[in-house]
Amino acid sequence: MKTKILFLSSVALASSLFAGNLAKDALDAGIVPLPSDGKALTKMINDAAPDAKEYPTTMAAYELGMRLYFDPRLSKSGIISCNTCHNLGLGGVDGVPASTGHKWTPNPHHVNAPTVYNSVFNSVQFWDGRAAHLAAQAAGPMTALPEMASTPELVVDRLKSIPAYVDEFKKAFNSEINFDLVTTAIGIFERTLVTPSRFDKFLEGDENALNDAEKKGLQIFLDKGCATCHNGVNLGGTLQPFEVAAKYEFADVGDFKGDANGMVKAPTLRNIELTAPYFHNGAIWSLKDAVKAMGSIQLGIDINDNEASSIVTFLNSLTGKMPKIEYPMLPASTDKTSKPELDY
């Protein structure tokens, strides 16, 4: 009996040392946890948001931004909101390969809508990195003809016609309504959409936060070199070269080619199980297939079925705790509010 106890103790000790070394290996690979401490998390968010000092996250600004995020009147048609393509109940995405916008227009470049969750930690926004922060990103879809098809003037005029919004902007920003503050408010709301996971607890030292299968998947993830691009607090979110080792099978789906240098934003792996389909053009629906494709395209290696399944098991541990969002009641339009322009 004593021998059995000693054996089990040695197994437990070895498992504990493995977990400790594994967490250290992940940290050494550049992966950063979301802090469990509220103050540390707030600091990390503020450090990641370049406008946080000028426009702090006050309750008034947050509530205004949330209402604007869900308000379809920011679109020309009056039926498309930010939440249409970045649905907070669906992992922050719309669940289709390429979004549909004004007049049922498909995205002309066949580009997949990235998740808005944890997007504050992306170093750049959009697949080609053309926006540096959330407020700048919010302006893009709102004024893009195939998306919300609005204009800054239309947005401001509609909001100014609604007394409740006039009051909210004064309360949040001590200012009249202008387009920059509209996008700023939306960005303030979006910067709060962070989702700490069990994986973060593991990196912080809780060896039991991941099970053995998830730890095995993490080890393979690190051994294969996946953290070369998927690192930092978002395990992604930075511009990276694409098709490093091989051609992407579905490269001809859409005409997106990255930025001027062919660089593409590596998507965050947080909540990745919720954000299918995958890649910039949403051409792959299976996360396991996406993992295998990345092995050949980016790393020039073969990731077999068992290895890919193990990595997916680990990736599922990145599904975090979603912030509680209650759909807001939106203020009433008035006789001065411009009518929806559906362009039928």
Q: Is 310 exposed, middle or buried (0-12, 13-18, 19+ CB in 10 A)?
A: buried
Q: Known catalytic residue: 147?
A: yes
DSSP 88: T
Q: Is the dihedral of CA 289, 256, 80, 138 positive or negative?
A: positive
Q: How far apart are CA 99 and CA 144, in angstroms?
A: 13
Q: Is 280 annotated as a binding residue?
A: no
Question: Out of 147, 190, 214, 307, which one is annotated catalytic?
Answer: 147
Closest alpha carbon to 88 in 252, 275, 230, 250:
275
- Residue 44 labelled as part of a binding site: no
> Cis (ω within 30 of 0) for the bond into 114?
no
User: Is 82 one of the annotated binding-site residues?
Assistant: yes
- Do the beta carbons of residue 90 and residue 84 sit within 8 Å? no
- Ligand-binding annotation for 102, yes or no, is yes
Interatomic CA distance for residues 297 and 15, integer angstroms: 34
1 assigned binding-site residue: no
Q: Say whether 86 counts as a known binding-site residue.
A: yes
Quickly list DSSP for 12-45. Answer: HHHHHHHHHHHHHHHHHTTB-PPPSSHHHHHHHH
Cα 73 to chain centroid, rounded? 24
Task: Find, among 69, 68, 151, 73, the residue nearest to 340 by Cα.
Answer: 73
Q: Which residues are the active-site residues?
A: 147
**Residues contributing to the annotated binding site for heme c:** 82, 85-86, 102, 226, 229-230, 294
